[in-house]
Amino acid sequence: MHSLWLIPIFPLVGFLINGMLGRRFSKTVINTVAVGSVVLSFLWVLKALSALAPLNETYVEHYFTWISSGTLDIGFDFAIDRLTMVMLLVVTGIGSLIHVYATGYMAHEGGYYRFFAYLNLFMFFMLTLVLAANYVLLFVGWEGVGLCSYLLIGFYFLKKSASDAGKKAFIVNRIGDFGFSLAMFLIVISFGTLDFQKVFAKASTISPEVQYGSITTICLLLLVGAIGKSAQIPLYVWLPDAMEGPTPVSALIHAATMVTAGVYMIARSATLFERAPIAMDVVAYIGLATAVMAATIGLVQNDIKKVYAYSTVSQLGYMFLGCGVGAFSAGIWHVVTHAFFKALLFLGAGSVIHACAGEQDMQKMGGLMKKIPITFAVLFIAAMAIAGVPPLSGHYSKDAILMAAHARAPWMYWVGVVTAGMTAFYVFRSIFLTFFGEYRGKAHPHESPAVMWVPLAVLAVLSLIGGYAFNIPEFLSPVLPMHGGVHDESLATIATAAGLAGILLAAICYLFVPSIPGALASAFAPIYQTLYDKYYVDELYNVSIVKPIANGSREILWKGADVGVFDALVNGAGTTSMALGGLLRKMQSGNLRTYASWVLIGILLVMGGFAVYGGAK
């Protein structure tokens, strides 16, 4: 036994300690508990991995039976294979860095202990999610991270917009869970178990060439869950709003880890998806559409966190595209590199916001390069990484996805390339608006303390070398099958060129000829406005779903049907018995003995009636 359970238990204990006693603790104690517990689980991951290396086979630990009824037998079991290993390292590694950063970022916030308690609880659920050996336990983590996301988005619960955003995230995710739940029920019927190893073993006896209806249905239903969690069309609407949460939360939960759970789940179920070509196509189309749509919105946003939020949605779309075209390991590779550079972008943005006294509007920034040089340097690296500039991390994973897409259908590659161009444009737009030119705000920007910039520096190094150093597809090849795409130099060059073109265009628009963006915006005002207002999707959902449910429930179901029909019928019948009611009222003389005697008389009458009736028979 390697006691895998310790990995999630450390942060759970941290949560319990800080959650129950944190109110009385000093910040030092809270920090030690919160950061210490996550670092401990990171170390335990390393220890388990070194003991288990090279991990060519899945290692499973059984703890106890959780749900058992009829054929259903679900255990609290953890399993670890190379895919889990990658996820564990990302979650605990990046998690540790962000915890450290947060001790600086949140230093002056109220509810300090509460924040770290939630953050630790999140780690517990996220680690449960990746360690789970069956779908239900994965679902436990899945729901748990959703809960923590709700709690942390709504951390500033005084603000209605924050608690609204938390609620929205939870409910939209639950809509996705609708699909996940049904998928599990169908898996039980099809395979008689929810255990990963057993399900995949049974599924792999079915040849991939055979169209297998219920596997396709299972995959499509799983996809519904993944769409909710990983913010894809049409359920992505919660993620941009989730930026109401503190920035470390955006970095950890809404960029690096939780939102990639959908990708992880699809990759985990690769054996099933490979036997469901229709579902694979849907994954790819949704991913591609989301990547494009979110990137276009990102082009025009002014709130720095909103830009990165839409960027996350867009990059998650890339990961889906990778999985959908069969390059699961490329998708996971992008999960890893994205965790590096997007966490860095968010934490860097947090450092900027911190420096500008809470300002998030890029129009009120500018010229920060000299004032916060470290932040500038790391953000610049992150921006180059996401733009796909070689040899930074993003370049490798994005290339792998685009190659696979080209092998599947060239047009997917081309759409992906254009999106890559847009990605480079919006991310450098944010860099130029923030760090170049003159400072347009009123605050007195200052560099963040070391506790904040050291984690940034570590992430910057990872963003620099993370792609070259970690060849995830090769590492995952025993678990996740390699895709058919071959590396093609000219295709790779085109993709890189698109990124560079995006950067150049951003430089022209925001450094050299600053009049262009304004002119374009007014020349194409309708398009600009549509993008700026995010295609009015929230408004559309509100009018077509939220309002009808609310009004329908209140006016038709409650006041109409419930009170108006069913209750009225009963009351109508009740009027006839008003005489009886009057009688009853008279009996209520208020004297207890009278009541008691009525009770007695009633029971005696019933019994007596029986005695007489039965006796006569």
Q: Which residues bind other proteins (CB under 8 A)?
A: 64-72, 136, 139-140, 143-144, 147, 150, 154, 157-158, 160, 163-164, 167, 170-171, 174-175, 177-178, 181-182, 184-186, 188-189, 549-550, 552-554, 557-558, 561-562, 566-567, 570, 574, 577, 580-581, 584-585, 588, 592, 595, 599, 602-603, 606-607, 610-611, 614-615, 617
**How far are the Cα atoms of 105, 340, 463 from residue 455, in angstroms, in the given order?**
12, 11, 12
SS3 letters across 84-95:
HHHHHHHHHHHH
Residue at token pair 């929810």: 194
CB burial string 419-455: b at 16+ within 10 A, e below:
bbbbbbbbbbbbbbbbbbbebebeeebebbeebbbbb
Smallest separation (angstroms) from other proteins to the CB of 575:
11
Smallest separation (angstroms) from other proteins to the CB of 568:
9
**CA 19, 21, 25 angle in degrees (round to 5)?**
110
Three-state DSSP state, 399? helix
Query: Rounded to an integer, what distance in angstroms lies between the CA atom of residue 506 and that of residue 500?
Result: 10
Q: What DSSP string describes 77-121? A: EEEE-HHHHHHHHHHHHHHHHHHHHHHHHTTT-SSHHHHHHHHHH
Smallest separation (angstroms) from other proteins to the CB of 312:
24
Between 56 and 588, name the residue whose CB sits nearer to other proteins: 588
- What does the block give as tokens for 520? 């374009």
Smallest separation (angstroms) from other proteins to the CB of 165:
11
Between 442 and 617, name the residue whose CB sits nearer to other proteins: 617
Between 411 and 558, name the residue whose CB sits nearer to other proteins: 558
Three-state DSSP state, 300? coil
Between 150 and 413, name the residue whose CB sits nearer to other proteins: 150
Query: Rounded to an integer, what distance in angstroms lies between the CA atom of residue 173 and that of residue 254?
Result: 13
Smallest separation (angstroms) from other proteins to the CB of 84:
20
Between 514 and 581, name the residue whose CB sits nearer to other proteins: 581
Question: Which residues lie closer than 8 Å to 95 by C-beta, 6 or more apart?
Answer: 38, 42, 123, 126, 252, 257
Smallest separation (angstroms) from other proteins to the CB of 34:
18
DSSP character at residue 485: P
Minimal CA–CA distance to 173: which of 115, 239, 117? 239
Between 166 and 485, name the residue whose CB sits nearer to other proteins: 166
Between 516 and 557, name the residue whose CB sits nearer to other proteins: 557
Give the torsion through C-alpha atoms of 34, 37, 38, 39, to 10 deg: 110
- Signed CA dihedral, 46, 48, 53, 58: sign only: negative
Smallest separation (angstroms) from other proteins to the CB of 282:
19
**CA 440, 446, 450 angle in degrees (round to 5)?**
145
Smallest separation (angstroms) from other proteins to the CB of 32:
23
Amino acid in the structure at residue 510: Y
Between 164 and 361, name the residue whose CB sits nearer to other proteins: 164
- What does the block give as tokens for 506? 């951003």
Query: Rounded to an integer, what distance in angstroms lies between the CA atom of residue 33 and that of residue 119?
Result: 12
- CA 98, distance to chain mean position in Å, is 16
Between 157 and 411, name the residue whose CB sits nearer to other proteins: 157
- What does the block give as tokens for 345? 């972008």
Minimal CA–CA distance to 339: which of 296, 303, 385? 385
Between 16 and 89, name the residue whose CB sits nearer to other proteins: 16
Between 117 and 309, name the residue whose CB sits nearer to other proteins: 117
Could you give phi then psi for residue 69, rounded to 5 degrees? -155, 120
Peptide bond into 208 cis (omega under 30): no
Between 277 and 564, name the residue whose CB sits nearer to other proteins: 564
Smallest separation (angstroms) from other proteins to the CB of 567:
4
Residue at token pair 């590659």: 413
Query: Rounded to an integer, what distance in angstroms lies between the CA atom of residue 231 and that of residue 208?
Result: 29
Smallest separation (angstroms) from other proteins to the CB of 125:
9
Query: Rounded to an integer, what distance in angstroms lies between the CA atom of residue 67 and that of residue 506?
Result: 56
Beta bridge partner(s), residue 260: none
Query: Rounded to an integer, what distance in angstroms lies between the CA atom of residue 86 and that of residue 388?
Result: 22
Smallest separation (angstroms) from other proteins to the CB of 336:
27
Smallest separation (angstroms) from other proteins to the CB of 144:
7
Between 118 and 439, name the residue whose CB sits nearer to other proteins: 118
Between 261 and 347, name the residue whose CB sits nearer to other proteins: 261
- What does the block give as tokens for 581? 């009611």
Smallest separation (angstroms) from other proteins to the CB of 146:
9
Minimal CA–CA distance to 257: which of 71, 94, 34? 94
Between 514 and 574, name the residue whose CB sits nearer to other proteins: 574
- What does the block give as tokens for 251? 């970095």
Smallest separation (angstroms) from other proteins to the CB of 252:
21
Smallest separation (angstroms) from other proteins to the CB of 349:
26
- What does the block give as tokens for 475? 């590492």
